[in-house]
Amino acid sequence: MQKKRSLKVHKVKEGGLAAMHNVLPGDRLVTINGHAIRDIIDYRFYSADNVLDCTFFREEKERWVHFKKAFDQTLGLEFEPFRFQKCTNHCIFCFCDQNPKSVRSPLKFKDEDYRLSFLYGNYVTLTQVGKEDLERIVKQRLSPLYLSIHATDLSVRKRLLGVHRDDHLLEKMEYLTRHAIELHGQIVLCRGINDGVVLENSMAVLSSFYPGLRSVAVVPVGLTKHRQGLPALKGYDSMTAREVVEQIRVFQKRFQKKWGEPFVYLSDEFYLLAGQPLPQTEHYGNFWQVENGVGLTRTFLDDFEKTVKSLPKKLERPKQLTWVTGVLAGPILLQTVLPRLGRIRNLHVDVQIIPNHFFGESITVSGLLTGGDIIDAFRRNPSDALLCLPSNCLNEDGIFLDDLSPLDLEKELNREVIVVQDMKELWKMLM
């Protein structure tokens, strides 16, 4: 029992409180002040007190340790990662089901864990969250949470999630917002299923949760070429994307007038697909869901405008730069960034738009570019120019979705490759 509801110590900081009390790697922390410790969130919550009575297990023997510490002092412990809750839904648009068979195992794992939503902003449906979980979220103030809503109509939501029961989402949202847990929602829009009238009804229902539900992001479904055996779905094109932009704009104006903010936000993809101008910075407020592609392009353009004012008219030495991007963002770089950088003498900049063959050419965002596709593109276009990659196409370990790294690109293409977070960082590298 103690192994299931406990945390296994991975490292003990030398000279820390735990080390002073002979806590060792491999020990299991079972309780703090009588509270069971199931994961790192429990540990952080219950270890905030100044006096801690802790129970550890070592080789199946119980050991009690008494700590006294300052309010901002830690025990000096690192724990093994906790196991994530696996998703039991069968969403008809799930991207994990659309991966090539060759991708690494972690990309095939579907998590459905409210703890990851709190810690990292992952989106969860709450289908597996029960009363005990809801009470824990409220007690430990696990806020904000990011919810995959998709539709408020029960029959449509069940179809989208591939479930056969009522998961009582709206009741859970009511409980959480009533107890001041901040929520942010996501609607993955599937053409002909949860758009149109269904989307209109969803907006009417979801707006009743404001301001507890702080924002709703509407993003287009992503469809790869690896959908064998999956339900037939239609993606969005220029005309249908324009219809969505116009529909949502009506709601945004209504909410802006009522609350002073749009409440519902479209991902950049919809504007770019529709050929519509991106909203200005003030439209996005606090950029609640920028990691979901909502306002990401606007932040890039704002960053560029700030940086471009300080750029010199001439570099001391000639430099060549090739900027890599996906199909969707290509026009933005060609129309906005390239002309301005082209005015700088001794700097030659090209934009290389990379089609996505790994997932299929219907996937156009730069965040899903792979090393293999970039290598293939530049093998046909050899150059000595510095290759500039957007940081969003790499994971936290600096690896592409196909397990290649920027170093692999350098070896294959025999040219320098840099990864850039923003324009200011790029300019430092060029100087």
Instruction: Read off the CATH number of the domain in which 422 is found.
Output: 3.40.50.2300
287 in the same domain as 305: no
247 in the same domain as 133: yes
119 in the same domain as 41: no
14 in the same domain as 101: no
Global pTM?
Answer: 0.90
Counted domains in the chain: 3
Identity of the residue numbered 291: E
371 in the same domain as 271: no
User: Pick from 269, 392, 387, 398: which is nearest to 327 by CA?
Assistant: 269
105 in the same domain as 165: yes
For residue 287 the two structure tokens come to 């950029």
The single residue listed with the structure tokens 């809750």 is 85
113 in the same domain as 234: yes
Taking only Cα atoms into account, the Rg of the chain, rounded to an integer number of angstroms, comes to 25
Residues of the chain with pLDDT under 50: 1-2
Task: Give the C-alpha separation, 395 to 404, whole Å.
Answer: 11
| Residue 87, domain member (yes or no) | no
Q: Between vectors from CA 360 to CA 396 and to CA 386, what angle results, nearest 5°?
A: 50
CB atoms within 10 A of CB 353: 18
pLDDT (0 to 100) of residue 373: 95
Domain end call among 237, 264, 292: 292
| Residue 426, domain member (yes or no) | yes
Q: Please give the backbone phi and psi of residue 313, each rounded to the nearest 5 degrees, phi first.
A: -80, -15
103-112 own/partner pairs: CB under 8 Å, 24+ apart: 103/401, 103/402, 104/403, 107/401, 109/84, 110/86, 111/84, 111/85, 111/86, 111/87, 112/85, 112/86, 112/87, 112/88
| Residue 85, domain member (yes or no) | no
337 in the same domain as 249: no
236 in the same domain as 137: yes
DSSP 253-300: HHHHHHHSS-SEEE-HHHHHHHTPPPPPGGGGTTTTTGGGTSSHHHHH
Task: Give the C-alpha separation, 36 to 140, whole Å.
Answer: 14
pLDDT (0 to 100) of residue 431: 64
Q: Which domain holds residue 74?
A: 7-79
pLDDT (0 to 100) of residue 317: 87
| Residue 194, domain member (yes or no) | yes
CB atoms within 10 A of CB 239: 9
Tens of pLDDT, residues 256-312? 999 999 999 999 999 999 999 999 999 999 999 999 999 999 999 998 888 888 888
pLDDT (0 to 100) of residue 424: 73
pLDDT (0 to 100) of residue 2: 46
| Residue 416, domain member (yes or no) | yes
| Residue 121, domain member (yes or no) | yes
User: Pick from 190, 193, 160: which is nearest to 91 by CA?
Assistant: 160
Per the DSSP assignment, residues forming a β-bridge with 28 are 8, 57
Cβ atoms of 261 and 295 within 8 Å: the answer is no
Which helix or strand (DSSP H or E) is residue 81 part of? none
pLDDT (0 to 100) of residue 337: 86
Domain end call among 243, 259, 292: 292
168-177 own/partner pairs: CB under 8 Å, 24+ apart: 169/125, 169/126, 169/127, 170/205, 172/126, 172/129, 172/134, 173/147, 173/209, 173/212, 173/213, 174/209, 175/134, 175/138, 176/134, 176/137, 176/138, 176/145, 176/212, 177/209, 177/212, 177/213
| Residue 1, domain member (yes or no) | no
Strands 35-36 and 28-32: antiparallel
279 in the same domain as 191: yes
The single residue listed with the structure tokens 């592409």 is 400
Domain end call among 292, 321, 346: 292
For residue 43 the two structure tokens come to 């540990």
Cβ atoms of 320 and 352 within 8 Å: the answer is no
Cβ atoms of 193 and 231 within 8 Å: the answer is no
Identity of the residue numbered 429: M
CATH of the domain at 187: 3.80.30.10
| Residue 151, domain member (yes or no) | yes
40 in the same domain as 18: yes
Q: How far is CA 14 from CA 22, 28, 71, in A?
A: 11, 18, 20
347 in the same domain as 284: no
CATH of the domain at 51: 2.30.42.60
User: Pick from 239, 86, 216, 222: which is nearest to 151 by CA?
Assistant: 216
Beta strand spans in 45-197 (E): 51-58, 61-68, 77-79, 123-124, 145-148, 183-189
